[in-house]
Amino acid sequence: MIQKSLVYIYATHPRRTFTGCGAFVEGGYVATCRHVWRMATETDGTVVSDRVEIVFPHDVDGGDPPIVGALASACDAKPGRRPDLVLLSPSAVPRDVVALQAATGAIWETGPATAYAGLPGQPSGAIAGIGEVTIDGTLAVATSSNGLRQFTGSNPTGFWLERGSSGSPVFLVQGQQLAGILSLSMLGANAGKTHLHEAHVVPGTVVRDHLIALQAVPVATERHIPVAYLQDILARLGAQDVAVADIPRLLREFIEASQAHGREPLAASNDIDITTTVERSRSLVQDFKPSEALSVLNARIAEENEARARRLLPLLKEQAEVQRIVFDHAGRLATLEEIARIDGSDISAWIEIGDIQILLGHSEEAQSAYRRAQSAAVAAKDERAISVCHNRIGDVLVSQGDGAGALAAYQSGLAIALSLAQRDPANTEWQRDLSISHDRIGDVLVSQGDGAGALAAYQSGLAIALSLAQRDPANTQWQRDLSISHDRIGDVLVSQGDGAGALAAYQSGLAIARSWT
């Protein structure tokens, strides 16, 4: 339940005193107001403590021993006015409390809303004199000059908020994301004399921005680069529906991909302008400035577009690579479509278009792109590409529930892959293609209830994967393929009631996985 995200915050010095509320959010932090933190840790402007006590009112275990909260982020690293927000790190989290995802866009923080607020002096359900109330209202579309969003109560005769309600979470009606936290001090809550039915809210998107920024610090320290170098990619990730917990992994991927891309040799070109632009792009990417790299590329692309469409191709491919690095799926799709428009015979562009359409959930568009790739591959007499397209089309048909069609597509791909593998047994890429084709067929046969057929297909794939893995024990991709092949066989054996055989297969897969992890 989202109500369980509400927490109470107490000063611990000179005595235990309730000062306000907060919301437990993703990453394991408590979001509360800056003025609540200062009330809890300062006396007459002097810091007297660097800790607060955090109480989860829905904690079924009772919060013993007390949970201590320390400052994780003062949310003051960005230039400009500081938000009425800090992030605290609790020393423990009750087992039944689930962290809230902060709003990923304005759509999740405007409109009919509900505040789950701590209200001092309300006996109903009160914990040490602090009650919990539900207050309905509306979150305004516009924000004030200091970035706050107005919350207007809808029931003038119902409960309203007191100063201790600051930091309480607000959600849209039927929403699950944190729309914001109450920041009552901005409107001067008046401690019971009259009940103001207007309040200000620190938007959930602001909370999310600072949660994301907090994730960058350990990654920057680990990679020995200034945090400022990551601001560009952080802004891009913040605009996407990416879980805060995934940010460190994505930042590491961004850093590694940027550095690797910058080291790649440039393709030969007789055009000094294009070469210079690509060199500039790679330099910017290496400096972790992908937006500037994209701006440089876009400017050159615009200049070349009318008169020299064919010369755009190297730039567009570079743009697609940079967009891949920064997870800009929509931008990369548009770039690849432009490549395909200029050169309809570009097989890889059509395949990548299909792959992105799959990622975006557009199966019909993906299938259309794969068939365009297949036509281009047939025209080019590229047998491997034809086989790959059969497999991609089979993947789409599986997602659409057409098992028979998928099986036919996979079998067509298998026939070509088998011919290529037999033609050149030393070609490891073709051998791996053949192994993957066997596995895809096995997956479909499993879904059709043909355990024996699936087992035979998986065993054929396993034999090839084993050969590749033995050929190069240092190749982690081949070792991973072999481990997964054992797991697939184990799954089939489980369904056939062969527990001992399944266990042996799983143990083989586990041993391999441990060797490369």
Q: What's the pLDDT tens digit per position in 59-105? A: 766 667 889 999 999 998 777 778 999 999 999 998 888 889 999 88
b vs e for 242-260, b when ≥16 Cβ sit within 10 Å of the residue's Cβ?
bebeebeebbeebbebbee
User: pLDDT tens across 429-459, in order?
Assistant: 999 999 999 999 999 999 999 999 999 999 9
- R_g of the chain computed on alpha carbons: 29
Report pLDDT for 335: 97
- Number of neighbours of residue 156 by Cβ within 10 angstroms: 8
- Residue with the bigger pLDDT between 120 and 355: it is 355
Which burial class, exposed, middle or buried, applies to 52 when counting CB atoms under 10 A from its CB (0-12, 13-18, 19+)?
Answer: buried
At which residue do the structure tokens 């557009």 appear?
362
Spatial contact of 340 and 372, defined as CB atoms under 8 Å apart: yes
Q: What residues pair up with 417 in beta bridges, in sequence order?
A: none
What is the set of domains in the chain, with CATH numbers? 2-90 (2.40.10.10), 106-207 (2.40.10.10), 244-343 (no CATH)
Judged by DSSP in three states, 161 sits in coil
Rounded distance, CA 336 to CA 356, Å? 10
pLDDT at 517 over 80: no
Judged by DSSP in three states, 382 sits in coil
pTM over 0.85: no
pLDDT at 193 over 60: no
Q: Average the pLDDT over each of 223-227, 370-374, 413-417 and give the range with the smallest value.
A: 223-227
Spatial contact of 209 and 238, defined as CB atoms under 8 Å apart: yes
* Rounded average pLDDT over 151-174: 81
- E strand or H helix that includes residue 514: helix 499-516
pLDDT at 27 over 50: yes
pLDDT at 188 over 50: no
Single out the residue of 417, 409, 371 nearest to residue 390, CA to CA. 409
pLDDT at 191 over 50: no
Report pLDDT for 354: 97
* Rounded average pLDDT over 199-228: 91
Question: How would residue 8 be classed by pLDDT, with cut points 50, 70 and 90?
Answer: very high
User: pLDDT tens across 386-408, in order?
Assistant: 999 999 999 999 999 999 999 99
Report pLDDT for 494: 92
- Residue with the bigger pLDDT between 231 and 109: it is 109
pLDDT at 300 over 60: yes
pLDDT at 500 over 80: yes
Please report, rounded to a whole number, the percentage of residues in the chain having pLDDT higher than 90.
Answer: 60
Report pLDDT for 169: 94
Spatial contact of 173 and 113, defined as CB atoms under 8 Å apart: yes
Rounded distance, CA 202 to CA 185, Å? 11
Structure token digits, residue 106: 């304005």
Spatial contact of 9 and 167, defined as CB atoms under 8 Å apart: yes
Q: CA 38, 42, 45, 47 torsion: positive or negative? A: negative
* Rounded average pLDDT over 500-515: 87
Q: CA 102, 105, 108, 111 torsion: positive or negative? A: positive
* Rounded average pLDDT over 179-183: 94
Question: How would residue 45 be classed by pLDDT, with cut points 50, 70 and 90?
Answer: confident
Q: Average the pLDDT over each of 203-217, 277-291, 432-446, 502-516 and give the range with the smallest value.
A: 502-516
Q: What are phi and psi of 252, to 5 degrees?
A: -65, -40
pLDDT at 272 over 90: no
DSSP one-letter string for 468-487? HHHH-TT-HHHHHHHHHHHH
pLDDT at 187 over 50: no
Spatial neighbors of 223 by CB under 8 A, at least 6 apart, are 252, 255
| DSSP code of residue 138 | E
What is the torsion angle, in degrees rounded to the nearest 10, for the CA atoms of residue 444, residue 449, residue 450 and residue 451? 100
Rounded distance, CA 137 to CA 109, Å? 12
* Rounded average pLDDT over 350-359: 96
Amino acid at 220: A
At which residue do the structure tokens 């009650």 appear?
131
pLDDT at 162 over 90: no
Amino acid at 249: R
Q: What are phi and psi of 171, to 5 degrees?
A: -130, 150
* Rounded average pLDDT over 225-230: 87
Mean pLDDT over all residues of the chain? Answer: 88
pLDDT at 124 over 50: no
Rounded distance, CA 440 to CA 454, Å? 9
Amino acid at 29: Y
